[in-house]
């Protein structure tokens, strides 16, 4: 069965960095776009970034552009999100999801807290 397992979340100070990972299994990894989606405490879903199958295309929400970088390793079936210059408003649970327009499988999420 399809599995997406995020890791790498934690507590970080404002201005700090964190790298999230998402390990995928149970499907042909190279067939799918992948997306990061986040959810701040008590708030709704926010689309963060996507990457195409061979990493040719990426895009970011304006709120993270220039600070976050999405990447994937097709040999390792893994997705990453490098987050720099973190702000308090980046505090959220971060989900990796399969797809670009529609997300048919989601990980369980990894929490990120940005606080001094």
Dihedral class, residue 86 (left if φ above 0, else alpha if ψ from -120 to 50, else beta): beta
Is residue 82 a contact partner of residue 17, using CB atoms and an 8 Å limit? yes
Q: What number of other Cβ atoms are within 10 A of residue 59's Cβ? A: 14
Q: Which of 88, 82, 79, 96 is nearest to 114 (CA)?
A: 88
3-state secondary structure of 113: strand
CB of 40 to another protein, least distance (A): 12
Nearer to another protein, 67 or 100 (CB): 100
Q: 21, 27, 52, 60: which one contacts another protein (CB under 8 A)?
A: 60
Binding status of residue 95 toward another protein by CB under 8 A: yes
Q: 16, 21, 46, 69: which one contacts another protein (CB under 8 A)?
A: 46
Binding status of residue 115 toward another protein by CB under 8 A: no
Residues lying near another protein in the complex (CB under 8 A): 35, 37, 44-47, 50, 59-61, 95, 100-109
């Amino acid at each position: 069965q399809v599995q997406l397992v995020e890791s790498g979340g934690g507590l970080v100070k404002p201005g700090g960095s964190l790298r999230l990972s998402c390990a995928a299994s149970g499907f042909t990894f190279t067939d799918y776009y992948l997306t990061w989606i986040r959810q701040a405490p008590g708030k709704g879903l926010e689309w963060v970034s996507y990457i195409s199958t061979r990493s040719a295309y990426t895009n970011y929400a304006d709120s993270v552009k220039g600070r976050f970088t999405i990447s994937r390793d097709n040999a390792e079936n893994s997705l990453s999100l490098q987050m720099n210059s973190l702000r308090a408003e980046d505090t959220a649970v971060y989900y990796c999801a399969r797809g670009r327009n529609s997300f048919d499988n989601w990980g369980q999420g990894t929490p990120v807290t940005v606080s001094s």
